[in-house]
Amino acid sequence: MLTLKVINENPGEVISRLKKKNFDAKEIVEKIIELDAIRRNSQTSLDGVLSEINSISKSIGSLIKEGKKDEATSAREKVATLKESSKELEATLKDAQDKIEELLVTIPNLPHESVPEGKSAEDNLIERNGGVMPSLEKDALPHWDLAKKYDLIDFELGVKITGAGFPVYKGKGARLQRALINFFLDNARDAGFMEVQPPYVVNSDSGFGTGQLPDKEGQMYHVGLDDLYLIPTAEVPVTNIYRDVILEDKDLPVKNTAYSACFRREAGSYGKDVRGLNRLHQFDKVEIVCIDKPENSYARLDEMVSYVQTLVEKLELPWRILRLCGGDMSFTSALTFDFEVYSAAQERWLEVSSVSNFESYQANRLKCRYRDENRKTQLCHTLNGSALALPRILAALLENNQTSEGIRIPKVLVPYCGFDIID
């Protein structure tokens, strides 16, 4: 979340920049500034009262020794009155602090100056693209029909076991899924990311730390008995490794990668966009997470975007990178690049990765800091990206590589899955 310092020192800029996210912050910012004035005045008054209590309390013993019982009694009464006053000030202070916290978590992160204006995905900008667009036969099949033809994925069995959006991968479909996971993890390791294996459920503090709570609780699966949440992405547990941690300057950047199953309710999703693997409630993904100093974070973002580009290139998929407009960005992001691959049989682009810089927004919630060369603690910048999400990658691989002999496997995956064609 934004810091009080940023809001107090630059209220006009905060309001202006958030307009790019189509968020009117004027009323909230003004209320926060008003409450912060109450908080600071209450704190000043409380410090004065506590100091006076301390001073008078110290004098009571001397008054008694000097036989000034009446003055000592009067001093005790004064202390009692001041203590009541301190309780009222403490209550006012806590009330202001609580209200400020409640308001701060409702304000999105400030968009970076390079974020384009816009209200929806139609306003995103294409940064660059690459790859060869496949040319398929007229009778080419979408991936859900290919999955059935070659017995790779059973969507109906998933409905029987759990419900819609929980497919069962079978045979070469399961092996190809595992091959992609290992391929992504090996590439991440070679690029300098340390692999971790995180829990698949998190507590509410972890959800708050990365911004899923209180903004997205409706999209998360909640284990009510234990008050835990199934993770929507490995970003949540991996980034929370550094919650309440002070890193040393020499240890930055932190670069982690993790495979996990991901769980999303996807409430409100419907239509052709949810067919087959296009939108699932459970899916596999390899995530990359970086933590760095503020002055390095945008160079780190460029590095992460370039890294994800190498993955789609190695998989021989047509790809493009989008710079998201303000209206299509997440609540917590300062700048996001989406990767899309072309699905030839569906004749549409499918999002397979989002790479984002959150600047200090998550770090402020997490209390993730580092000591600079002067031993002063500063908030870190956090970044993360999908590298990659499997369902739509698999969909595009199946569709784009179908031939009359079967489905061709990209060369880089053959050592991982042990076959070069699905027939």
Q: What is the pLDDT of residue 217?
A: 65
- Domain extent, residue 412, equals 121-422
Q: What is the pLDDT of residue 67?
A: 85
Instruction: Decide: helix, strand or coil at residue 65.
Output: helix
93 and 137 assigned to the same domain: no
Is residue 353 a known part of a binding site? Answer: yes
Residue where one domain finishes, among candidates 53, 78, 104: 104
- What are the C-alpha distances in Å from 246 to residues 58, 367, 371, 379, 380? 39, 8, 7, 9, 9
The reply to whether 208 falls in a domain is yes
Q: Using one digit for the tens of pLDDT, what is the confidence trace for 289-331?
A: 999 999 999 999 999 999 999 999 999 999 999 999 999 999 9
126 and 90 assigned to the same domain: no
* Omega before residue 388 within 30° of 0, cis: yes
The reply to whether 110 falls in a domain is no
Q: Using one digit for the tens of pLDDT, what is the confidence trace for 173-223?
A: 999 999 999 999 999 999 999 999 999 999 999 999 999 998 666 789 999
100 and 221 assigned to the same domain: no
Work out how many domains the chain is built from and give that number.
2
**Cα–Cα distance, 265 to 243 (Å, whole number):** 26
The reply to whether 270 falls in a domain is yes
Q: Using one digit for the tens of pLDDT, what is the confidence trace for 117-169?
A: 999 999 999 999 999 999 999 899 999 999 999 999 999 999 999 999 999 99
Q: Given pLDDT bands bounded at 50, 70 and 90, which one contains residue 270?
A: low
255 and 363 assigned to the same domain: yes
262 and 346 assigned to the same domain: yes
Whole-number average pLDDT of the chain? 95
Q: What is the pLDDT of residue 214?
A: 87
Q: Using one digit for the tens of pLDDT, what is the confidence trace for 11-34?
A: 999 999 999 999 999 999 999 999
Is residue 264 a known part of a binding site? Answer: yes
- What are the C-alpha distances in Å from 124 to residues 20, 273, 274, 322, 327? 13, 19, 22, 6, 9
67 and 150 assigned to the same domain: no
Q: In 3D, which of 228, 392, 402 has the Cα closest to residue 319?
A: 392
Q: CA 68 from chain center: how many Å?
A: 65
Cα dihedral sign, 342-344-345-346? positive
Is residue 17 a known part of a binding site? Answer: no
273 and 392 assigned to the same domain: yes
138 and 209 assigned to the same domain: yes
- What are the C-alpha distances in Å from 127 to residues 333, 343, 352? 18, 19, 16
Residue where one domain finishes, among candidates 104, 137, 165: 104
Is residue 354 a known part of a binding site? Answer: yes
Which tokens belong to 172?
């070469």
CATH of the domain at 19: 1.10.287.40
Q: Given pLDDT bands bounded at 50, 70 and 90, which one contains residue 267?
A: low
299 and 177 assigned to the same domain: yes
Instruction: Decide: helix, strand or coil at residue 125.
Output: strand
- Please state the rounded mean pLDDT for residues 248-252: 94
- Please state the rounded mean pLDDT for residues 343-365: 97
The reply to whether 112 falls in a domain is no
Q: What is the pLDDT of residue 19?
A: 97
DSSP E strand stretches across 306-418: 319-323, 335-343, 348-357, 369-371, 377-379, 381-389, 407-408
337 and 217 assigned to the same domain: yes
250 and 136 assigned to the same domain: yes
Tell me the sheet residues that pair with 421.
408
**Cα–Cα distance, 84 to 227 (Å, whole number):** 38
The reply to whether 39 falls in a domain is yes
62 and 128 assigned to the same domain: no
**Cα–Cα distance, 328 to 136 (Å, whole number):** 32
CATH of the domain at 221: 3.30.930.10
What secondary structure, in 3-state letters, does 237-302 show? HHHHHHCCCEEEHHHCCEEEEEEEEEECCCCCCCCHHHCCCCCCCEEEEEEEEEEECHHHHHHHHH
The reply to whether 184 falls in a domain is yes
* Omega before residue 198 within 30° of 0, cis: no
pLDDT at position 55 over 90: yes
Which tokens belong to 266?
């996807």
The reply to whether 366 falls in a domain is yes
The reply to whether 67 falls in a domain is yes
